[in-house]
Amino acid sequence: MALSRQQHLELYYWMQLNRKLEDLLTVMFRQNKVVGGVYSSLGQEATSVGTAYALEKRDWIAPMIRNLGAVLVKGYRPRDILMQYTAKSGSPTGGKDGTAHFGDLHEKRMVSPISMLGDLIPVMAGIGLGARYLGRNEVALTWIGDGGSSTGVFHEGLNFAAVQRAPLVLVLENNQWAYSTPNYLQARLTDFADRAKAYGIPGVIVDGNDVVAVYEITKQAVEQCRHGDGPVLIESKTFRRKGHAQHDPAAYVPKWMLKEWEAKDPIARYEKYLTAKKLWTEKEKNDILARIDRELKEGQAEAEASPLPPAERAAEGVYCDGCHEIRAEWKRSPKPVKPGKNTAQWFDGKTPALKPVAKSKVAAAVSSNPGRRKKK
Ligand SMILES: Cc1ncc(C[n+]2csc(CCOP(=O)(O)OP(=O)(O)O)c2C)c(N)n1
Ligand SMILES: [Mg+2]
């Protein structure tokens, strides 16, 4: 389970790619080249990358707006993202949809985001249960915000997943804000992980700016799901360092709070870690940065030179006219795995618990009520 030197370098590559691609998208947005919104995950890269990195190819994700890092880890290339955000004909949606709304149910196993917050939770519980019915040991993972965890469907979805023991890892990305609403106006909880108690499932806390800790706890949760003891809720404590999207300057966020979290930047922190543990050389770092620079330049050039979709395509794919081949592949008779019989085999009368993680891995430093703290 321990990460190799190569894997440590890969985590660095994905986090930097996540950040630099968003920087580029921001510039392109301001040049009016992007069709749709750009949502920044500045400061949250360790959560997206560390969680997705803990999955295997056979597993499923459904990203939210701040999970570009996970989308990259799951196999999309910068070129795909740049084509998609500029709505070009050769993009994952063929230019039919802009920015984050794309997925791939076949190769990459990525469910397209749903804008209605929380709705991906029952969908991903269903994906996990579907895999089990088909006799496949696959795990589904999705993310939800602190704000999104107050929706009705979060509670219905998580309860359903818990009762069915769905192989679902739900990452509650607590970035302290939901648009302009601070946490203390969102829920009367110190830790959002406590929401898990209502459903009898493990709820664990991780320092969301520590990519190795995020990876390790997610790996544990994934293994637990693979053994039939899902779902697991992981609260990742982190911070949204930009506004909700490009149009929002986030003037409502206190300056001291921003400064405090800038000092905890996950990439700068990981660089220090790699150096202290002697896991890389200066040359390896420079090679990674040069590779990212090259990939972004090539992707941008291709996206900007590519055509928009032809007008005739606007009417295509609005209603399914046989264009989809999504059917259940029954590997065995559905009869013996119908709910009831199926769920009984997972039930041993005990509520599962995650093995305790080392104290150092668990975030303790994040204040529960940031909005009420005294100015420094
Ligand atoms: C059910 C629902 N209500 C409201 C919205 C509008 N909306 C989109 S994002 C957002 C804030 C979400 O905050 P949070 O869940 O904390 O995620 P973050 O933006 O911080 O990543 C809101 C209110 C929505 N998309 N869906
Ligand atoms: Mg939030």
Q: pLDDT (tens digit, 9 = 90+) per residue, 229-252?
A: 999 999 999 999 999 999 999 999
Q: What angle do CA 283, 289, 292 make, to 5 degrees?
A: 140
For ligand 1, whether the C-beta of 333 sits within 6 Å is no
Q: What local confidence, expressed as pLDDT, does residue 317 receive?
A: 76
Does the structure show a pLDDT above 90 at 336?
Answer: no
Q: Whole-angstrom Cα distance, residue 272 to residue 265?
A: 11
What average pLDDT does the structure give for the chain? Answer: 89
Query: What's the gap between Cα 296 and its chain centre?
Result: 21
Q: What angle do CA 143, 145, 150 make, to 5 degrees?
A: 115
The secondary structure of the chain in percent helix, strand, coil, rounded to multiples of 5, reads: 45, 10, 45
For ligand 1, whether the C-beta of 19 sits within 6 Å is no
State the closest ligand 1 atom to the C-alpha of 118, by its place in the atom list counted from 1. 1
Name the β-bridge partners of 205: 235
Does the structure show a pLDDT above 50 at 367?
Answer: no
Number of domains in the chain: 1
- Give domain status of residue 265, yes or no: yes
Backbone angles phi, psi at 236, to 5 degrees: -105, 115
Q: What local confidence, expressed as pLDDT, does residue 97 receive?
A: 87
Q: What local confidence, expressed as pLDDT, does residue 337 receive?
A: 53
Q: Whole-angstrom Cα distance, residue 163 to residue 129?
A: 11
- Give domain status of residue 329, yes or no: no
Does the structure show a pLDDT above 50 at 366?
Answer: no
DSSP secondary structure letter of residue 290: H
Taking alpha carbons only, the member of 57, 80, 9, 1 closest to residue 287 is: 9
Which tokens in the block code for residue 68?
């570009």
Does the structure show a pLDDT above 70 at 47?
Answer: yes
- Give domain status of residue 331, yes or no: no
- Give domain status of residue 22, yes or no: yes
Q: How many CA atoms lie within 13 A of 10 on its CB side?
A: 15
DSSP secondary structure letter of residue 25: H
Q: Is the dihedral of CA 343, 200, 348, 144 positive or negative?
A: positive
- Give domain status of residue 351, yes or no: yes
Q: Which residues contact residue 111 at a Cβ distance below 8 angstroms, ignoring those fewer than 6 apart?
A: 60, 61, 62, 103, 105, 120, 123, 124, 127, 142
Averaged pLDDT, 118-134: 94
Which tokens in the block code for residue 177?
């804000």
Q: What predicted TM-score, i.e. pTM, was given to this entire model?
A: 0.89
Domain CATH code at residue 125:
3.40.50.970
pLDDT in tens, 61-108: 999 999 999 999 999 999 999 999 999 999 999 999 878 999 999 999
Q: How far is the CA of 186 from the centre of ligand 2 (A)?
A: 10
Ligand nearest to the CA of 154: 1
Q: What local confidence, expressed as pLDDT, does residue 330 receive?
A: 62
Residue-range definition of the domain harbouring residue 195: 5-306+343-370
- Give domain status of residue 118, yes or no: yes
Query: H helices of the chain, where?
Result: 5-30, 45-53, 68-73, 78-85, 120-133, 152-164, 211-226, 255-262, 266-276, 282-305, 341-344
- Give domain status of residue 13, yes or no: yes
Q: Tell me the one-letter amino acid at 158.
A: L
Among protein residues, the one with the nearest Cα to ligand 1's atom 20 is 178
Which of the residues are catalytic? 240, 244, 252
Q: What local confidence, expressed as pLDDT, does residue 331 receive?
A: 61
| Residues with a beta carbon under 5 angstroms from ion ligand 2 | 145-146, 175, 178
Q: What local confidence, expressed as pLDDT, does residue 16 receive?
A: 98
- Give domain status of residue 267, yes or no: yes
